C-alpha cells in the first residue's frame, strides 16, 4: 500500500513513479506484480481517533532500531541527487 500524497519538495515522486520503482525492484527478485503482490493507493491517513471504548485496541508496533531508523525523506533526497 502506498499513501496518496501531494507531490512537493519532500515527496517528489508520484504514485505511479513509486509503484513502477517497486515493480521493477521486486521483478529483479522474481516477484510478478498482480501475481505475487499488488500495489494499492490508500488515503493519507495520519490520525486515528475514537471517543469511547468500541471493542478494539489501537497498538503501536515496534520494528527494531534498524527498521525504525530508516528515513524515507533521506532516501528520496539521495534518489533525486542521483538523477
Render 39-71 in DSSP notation, one character per residue.
--EE--------SS--S---------HHHHT--
Residue recorded with cell 508520484: 14
What per-residue confidence (pLDDT) applies to 1? 92
Exposure on the CB side of residue 80, measured as CA atoms within 13 A: 12
The residues spanned by each domain of the chain are 2-45+67-81
What is the pLDDT at residue 54?
Answer: 72
Q: Please give the pLDDT value at position 57.
A: 78
Taking only the tens of pLDDT, the chain with its 83 residues reads: 999 988 988 889 999 999 999 999 999 999 999 999 999 999 998 888 777 777 777 888 999 999 999 998 898 888 888 88
* The predicted structure's pLDDT at residue 60: 87
* pLDDT for 50: 78
| Grid coordinates of 36 | 505475487
> Structure pTM?
0.69
Amino acid at each position: 500500500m502506498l499513501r496518496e500524497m501531494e507531490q512537493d519538495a519532500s515527496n517528489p515522486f508520484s504514485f505511479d513513479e513509486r509503484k513502477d520503482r517497486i515493480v521493477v525492484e521486486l521483478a529483479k527478485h522474481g516477484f510478478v506484480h498482480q501475481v505475487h503482490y499488488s500495489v494499492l493507493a490508500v488515503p493519507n491517513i495520519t490520525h486515528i481517533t475514537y471517543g469511547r471504548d468500541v471493542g478494539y485496541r489501537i497498538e503501536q508496533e515496534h520494528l527494531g532500531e534498524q527498521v525504525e531508523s530508516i528515513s524515507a525523506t533521506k532516501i528520496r533526497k539521495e534518489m533525486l541527487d542521483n538523477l
